[in-house]
Structure formats: structure tokens, C-alpha cells
A and B are shown apart, each in its own frame.
Chain A
Amino acid sequence: MRRLSPPRSGRRGLALAAIACLLLAALVQGRIEARAASRPGVHPLLYLPSGKYLRVAALGFDGILADAIYLWSIQYYGNFQIADRYRYLEQIYTQVIAELDPRYLDPYLTGALIMTVEARDPEMALRLLDKGIVKNPDAWILAFEAGFVCYDNLKDYARAALYFDKALQVPGCHPTVRHLYAEMYNRAGDKRASLREWTEIYETATDPYVRTAAWNHVHDLKVQVDQADLGSALDRFSKREGRRPRHLRELVSLGVVPELPRDPEDRDYRYDPVTGEVSYRGRLILVGF
């Protein structure tokens, strides 16, 4: 029986023609892209719809779509050659990924990091983290991260304390958050509240390392709070009596304070009646840290 297959040489010619056409198509594509690059075009992210609309198109595959956009965003924001890459940063993380998969924690943390460190916009990071906190009330890490942005970038210690407090309300929160929370009061100037928090950490900690660290804070804060209390008592005495006291016991005998505080080593504070200065007999532990 005669075979009906085409001659071998003809098939080879067709294959070569196909490869040649493919190469030409690739060349044309290269030219198209070169021309497009020279023209002022629209931003590639301009038409990326909100996550609310993308969810409809995802047909139940919201999670995988969020993964894909998150993976793409990491590559995109890691490309330092794109000059205006932060233009739609908030939209990508807050409006698209967070809407597609609100329980996906990594994009909140990575997005906040890019916004803070790369785009230098900590307030944008806080807006993203705030959204994450609302959607994931059981994830202490988001409130912790927001507190850290306030502490490290904004130097807004009072706001940081609020976030750390929010993280502490979540069961399973890492104990370090408690330390930061206590320290925020110190940084914000509320040493009495900081002393109260560190004392509680010291009294409740079981880890010897944590207890030692907490004690160092309690030690220094107690000295500072005592010195501040004695300083204000001395001012009240001076205003009332028109002179400085000869010794600190006069503050008690004339009813300015009910009793004199003792330093962490259970000693009296040193008082100079000439200058009116109160000093600590020992050395602060954390000075210079």
C-alpha cells in the first residue's frame, strides 16, 4: 500500500519555515517593546482593580490570587530600577492583597516594612497594619509591628504604647512586647508608669534572664522617680519655708512628705544643703544604653 505521508524534505522545509517565522515574531516583539519603552505610557498598575472587584473575578480562588500578587509585589518593589514604584504601594497592599485574603499576615508585615524602610512613609504602614489588626484581632504580631513603627520610626512613644497594649490583649503574645510596652512609658517621660510595668514584669517573670533585665530597669527607674519626688518635695519646702532644708529628715518632720524614699539598695539618698541637690549613692545600671 502506498504511504500518503508528505516527502521528508518538504516536512523539514516547513519546520525550518516555522522556526524562522518564530524568530521573526520574537524580533518584531522586541521592536514593539523598545518603541513602547520610549513612549510615555500609563503606569502598569493604574488599572489594577481593587481587591473587592478582584474577589468577584477570583471565583473562590482569592487565596491563590493574593499569593500571586504578593509574590509579584516582592519582585516589583525589590527592583530599584523602577523610579516611581511606590506610587501605588498602598493600593497594592491595603486595597488589593488585604481585600483578597484578609487573613494573610505576611503581606501586612512585608508591606509595612516596604512602606517604612523603602518608601519612608510610616503613616501609610500604620494604615495597612490598622486594617490588618481589624481583620485579624487574634494576631498580636500586627499590633506589635505597628507599635514598633511608632517607636522606631516616628519616635511617638505614647502611640507605640497604645499599640503594644493592644498586642498584649491578645492571648499568646510574646513576653518581649510587655518589656517594650513598659519601656515606652519611660521613653515618653512617664517614668512612674514605666516603673509600675517593669516592677510587674520583675515580680511575675520566671526566667532568670528576664528577671535580671527587669530588675535593671526597676533599679534605675526607682532612683529616677525617687529623685524626682524628692526634688518636688524640696521645691514645696523652699516655697513654704523660704529656705532649703538642712537635711532630708526635715521634709518629714515639717509634714512635706509622710516618709523618705530609700534607694534600691535600701540606703538614704545623699542631700547637699548648699546646692539643694539630691543624689544617689550608687551607680545607675543602664546608663549609656
Chain B
Amino acid sequence: MTPDALVPLYGFVEGDTLGLLVLVRTTDTIARLSFVLQEAAQVRVAHDPQFVVRHRDLRLEPTLTVAAAGLTALDRVDLVREASA
């Protein structure tokens, strides 16, 4: 993967009705990914500071980069509220 490449991901926000396609960069943080996904879903689900990002049953630290978290094109990521994470 080239540095700072675009990574398309399938994102699912808890409480939402569908899966979204979001584009992030490998250098973006997980916190940025969370924001992008919440923006994409905001018509149906309000932003919530309780949201955390999960990938394959693992909670991803907000400070990690997309690359460091091991996310690759068309992975599934979930935004879930802390209580249900």
C-alpha cells in the first residue's frame, strides 16, 4: 500500500439502517474514521462521543492510524456505543 493511499471501507453505525462506503487515508487516525462515518450517517443517527470503532471483534484505539490498525480496502468497520462495545 502506498503511503497516504485512499482506503474505501464499509462502515456500519449502530442504530443506522444501512452500510455506508467511506473513504479514508492510510494516515488518518481511527478518531478521524469515526468522525467521517458519523458525518456520513448523521441524517439518521446523531453524532455521539460514546461511539468507538470496532473491526473483527477488536476495539481500535482512536490514536492508531488506519494503516497501523491493519485496515485494508473494503474491510468492514463498526461504530458502536461504548456500552455495547
Partners in one complex: no
Residues of A within 8 A of B (CB): none
